Structure 1
Amino acid sequence: MKKNTFLLFISVLTLFLSCKDDDTRFETRIIANAVLESKDVVRASVAVETERPINESGKIYTYTNYVFVNDRNLGVHVIDNRIPENPQKIAFLKIPGNFDIEVRNDILYADSYTDLVLFNIADIDNITLIDRYEDVFNDFGFSLAAITESFDQIDYGNYNPSESFVVGWTYSEIQVEIQDFGDDIFLEDAAVTSGDVTGQGGSFARFKIVDSYLYVVDFSDLYVFDISTLGVSSLVGQQGIGWQIETIFNRDDYLYIGSQNGMLIYNIEDRTQPQYASEINHLQGCDPVVVDGDYAYLTLRGGNTCGQQLSILEVINIADKNNPYSVREYSMQEPYGLGIKEDLLFVSDGPNGFHIYDKSSPEELVLLEVIEDINVFDVIPLEDKLLAIANNTLYQYTYEENGLSLLSEYVIN
């Protein structure tokens, strides 16, 4: 991925075939075309601004009395939640290429394309940018997170990762001739290349702080940063762990990593040297995961850029970390984020409502309630309330017996 024009061949699917009089057959391919921007320009634009309208809400994060809402690929909205019935936007962290954050001891860590940037939020009314670590992440991983449509190939144009970031994508179609040689079909011209105070994120997190270490996953790698010194970050480990990696979750001395092909388990008894323990595979699909006790819960979403069409909620027995196995699957329509609070499991099924399950018997979940007319993307169950983000709106609920009660509904406009 270093020079000139090249195509990354992601998958070959038979989509639409058309025939000419000479029986020549063609396939329609969707091309994701990279939009490039100078690294110097992007880095100079990182700033702390007054509150502004949101474009598209992404992941949510909560720290002390504040909620941080990712504005996909643009930055982070800071919301004062000291009065949950009446939250208020107070600032915007302009961070191009941002999708995730974590906070420890008033230091906010955020991705900005291949960079890691640090903000001091001790004085929430005077947030300051304190440091930037350039090109610590794979130039390939985070750019793909911004692709929002199904595609067959990627055209990076004149991308040079030492000079530019991939800041967005446009989409186009091309017709490619299919050449049939006996039982084998070939596509012509298919070029292939290659005691701390921390906050809490949702099930789509790619950042996770454990003690004084920050763990980050991108499309293929797991990174370990030593953040024991306030305001300083040091990359102490990086390893390739697979392909199409999406999320990370921590429980005790293990990381549970969701990918489009399954869930991986890594032992982090040695915080600087994560060790592969096991994995469980499934059909390709988008895959956030949460863990409680001897069970992991994950949603598998098919369609669009996620792969096949199957969508399920899966329960996995992880009592033996070296031998996880699936114990139950529940059919869903379009699942996204999920979370756990004691015996309750909260699962978003996209436009099909927000589902609440009794998980006191994990292998026999009982559906207690479906909150209709809400399309939740991600959820954070706290001790005293539950936070959910849906279509630029922050919902907060209090826990009631076998259900939830709406506390506030805040449109982040």
Structure 2
Amino acid sequence: MKKYLLNGLLLIFAMAVLTQCKKNTDEFEVIQIAKAISLQEMRALPVGIKSPVKAKKTGKIYVYNDYLFINEPNKGIHIYNNVNPNAPVNLAFLQIPGNVDLAIRDNILYADSYVDLLAFDISSMNNIKQIKRVNDVFKQFFTTSVLKYVVIYKDTVVRKETYKNISFDASYSSSTGSSSGQGGSMARFTLLSDYLYTVGQSDLSLFDIKTASNPTFVKTINLGWGVETIFPYENKLFIGTNTGMHIFSAADAANPVKLSTYSHIFACDPVVVQGKYAFVTLRTGNFCRQTVNQLEVVDIEDPTKPKQLAVFQMQNPHGLSVINNNLFLCEGPFGIKSFNIENKSAIGNNMLQHLSQIKSYDVIAGPKSLIVTGEDGVYQFNYNNPANLSQMSVIKALTY
């Protein structure tokens, strides 16, 4: 029975995620095809530091000290020395199968590897070491609750007629006294007090990192389906879902308490916070299936009663970053925009610049540069004048 069930799952996954990678000849294509493997096989996959390579595709971005970390979805993390944002230096590739997110505290890098959490000592970038694996904490990757298999993606050469009629669109989903990094608004990992918080498709997971090198799983809190992002601010957690924004108090960091939910129509939803305002983007997308593309400003002065302050129409808003009186907003294939947000009720009338040629997914207003990741790579801009962003460098993905 288990054998037949597994074969059925394999067929479903294979049919679902066939995606074209590149053309070889008129007769053959290289595609990525899903394959279910056991946890034992998954944990035997190679993990560790390798010579620097260029990313084929860029995912989440993270800034820590003078380093820029760029995730390549399901492959690992590219590490750049970013002392000079005009000329970032590709140092190494940290191979982590099934990796999508990361966070860093006190020279310890935390990363997901399918169902497991891995911890790496990065105090020496030339000698990064895995120091811990916490098993079976990201349950959404299991094929079933009974059969312990995970799904990996493998480059496969096939004849065009094998898959030419298949079509599928998929989308994946600070602390006093410590040294932590900075992630983007699309992050599913974040740090607050002495805890690492991660969100899956329907839950919030907590890890005790009082001893940074020894992350310990604490518990999981169910949030309901459609969870997408997490953003920390002061002693609160703001969790974006495709139906709204959850606000949790983390005053007791080990026991987050839900304060409220700001609801909206079904739409993809990252969120960032500054002061008594939250900024939420809603967009059409792969799983959003709606026609709304807008920026919402939410008054959270009373976090138990969030209320909408203003709504501004956008083209296809993705990630965003706020610093001082400026907001930087990614418009997907339509570029990146900067706004003056001093008047929260008139942001739509105060656009400073629109770089329409940059395909943008997420953005970090970092200490040295504005870092923008998109379909074709990672850009860095001087943003001393938000009305005149000046490109400093670009790390191109290999597909471009």
| Aligned pair partner of 1:259 in 232, 241, 246 | 241
| Aligned pair partner of 2:375 in 391, 394, 399 | 391
Q: Does the 8 Å CA contact 1:341/1:382 hold for their aligned counterparts?
A: no
Q: Does the 8 Å CA contact 1:32/1:172 hold for their aligned counterparts?
A: no
Separation in structure 1 between the aligned mates of residue 35 and residue 49 of structure 2, nearest angstrom: 25
Number of residue pairs matched by the alignment:
354
Task: Give the aligned partner of residue 37 of structure 2.
Answer: 37
Q: With the length of structure 1 as denominator, give the TM-score of the two structures.
A: 0.81
Shift of 1:31: 4.7
Equivalent residue runs for 1:4-403 within 5 Å: 4=5, 31=16, 35-44=35-44, 45-138=46-139, 140=140, 142=141, 163-168=148-153, 195-365=177-347, 366-403=350-387
Which structure carries more strand by proportion?
1
Secondary structure of the 2:279 match is strand
Separation in structure 1 between the aligned mates of residue 340 and residue 369 of structure 2, nearest angstrom: 17
Structure 1 residue runs of 5 or longer lacking an equivalent are 8-29, 144-155, 175-194
Task: Give the aligned partner of residue 181 of structure 1.
Answer: none
Q: Does the 8 Å CA contact 1:336/1:348 hold for their aligned counterparts?
A: yes
Q: Does the 8 Å CA contact 2:248/2:259 hold for their aligned counterparts?
A: yes
Shift of 1:321: 0.1
Separation in structure 2 between the aligned mates of residue 316 and residue 78 of structure 1, nearest angstrom: 36
Q: 1:74 is aligned with what amino acid? A: K
Separation in structure 1 between the aligned mates of residue 55 and residue 394 of structure 2, nearest angstrom: 16
Change (3 A) 1:172 1:271: farther
Shift of 1:162: 5.2
CA deviations on 1:264-291 (whole Å, 9 max, x unpaired) are 0000000000000001111111111100
CA deviations on 1:59-113 (whole Å, 9 max, x unpaired) are 1001001111010111111111112111121111111111100000000000011
Shift of 1:32: 5.4
User: Quick check: 1:411 aligned with 2:393?
Assistant: no
Q: Does the 8 Å CA contact 1:52/1:91 hold for their aligned counterparts?
A: yes
Q: Does the 8 Å CA contact 1:290/1:340 hold for their aligned counterparts?
A: yes
Shift of 1:400: 3.0
Change (3 A) 1:40 1:121: same
CA deviations on 1:308-348 (whole Å, 9 max, x unpaired) are 12211111111110010112111122211100110000001
After alignment, is 295-304 or 315-324 more displaced? 295-304
Q: 2:37 is aligned with what amino acid? A: E
Greater gyration radius: 1
Q: Does the 8 Å CA contact 1:311/1:333 hold for their aligned counterparts?
A: yes
Separation in structure 2 between the aligned mates of residue 384 and residue 92 of structure 1, nearest angstrom: 23
Change (3 A) 1:83 1:384: closer
Q: Does the 8 Å CA contact 2:57/2:377 hold for their aligned counterparts?
A: no
Separation in structure 2 between the aligned mates of residue 88 and residue 134 of structure 1, nearest angstrom: 33
CA deviations on 1:114-170 (whole Å, 9 max, x unpaired) are 1000111000111111111110122x2x57xxxxxxxxxxxx6xx676542112499
Q: Work out the percentage of aligned pairs sharing the same amino acid.
A: 38
Separation in structure 2 between the aligned mates of residue 163 and residue 123 of structure 1, nearest angstrom: 35
Shift of 1:353: 1.6
Change (3 A) 1:172 1:198: farther
Secondary structure of the 1:363 match is helix
Which structure has the higher relative contact order (CA within 8 Å, separation 6+)? 1
Q: 1:84 is aligned with what amino acid? A: P
Separation in structure 2 between the aligned mates of residue 299 and residue 392 of structure 1, nearest angstrom: 22
Task: Give the aligned partner of residue 174 of structure 2.
Answer: none
Separation in structure 2 between the aligned mates of residue 387 and residue 98 of structure 1, nearest angstrom: 21
Secondary structure of the 2:333 match is helix
CA deviations on 1:230-259 (whole Å, 9 max, x unpaired) are 310111221101211000001011100000
After alignment, is 198-207 or 278-287 more displaced? 278-287
Structure 2 residue runs of 5 or longer lacking an equivalent are 10-14, 19-33, 157-162, 167-176
Separation in structure 2 between the aligned mates of residue 201 and residue 161 of structure 1, nearest angstrom: 34
Q: 1:97 is aligned with what amino acid? A: G
Change (3 A) 1:267 1:399: same
CA deviations on 1:1-56 (whole Å, 9 max, x unpaired) are x992678xxxxxxxxxxxxxxxxxxxxxx855853123222222222211123121
Q: 1:42 is aligned with what amino acid? A: M
Secondary structure of the 2:311 match is strand
Secondary structure of the 2:302 match is coil
Q: 1:240 is aligned with what amino acid? A: N
Which structure carries more helix by proportion?
2
After alignment, is 340-349 or 323-332 more displaced? 323-332
Separation in structure 2 between the aligned mates of residue 263 and residue 160 of structure 1, nearest angstrom: 28
Separation in structure 1 between the aligned mates of residue 340 and residue 354 of structure 2, nearest angstrom: 12
Q: 1:353 is aligned with what amino acid? A: G
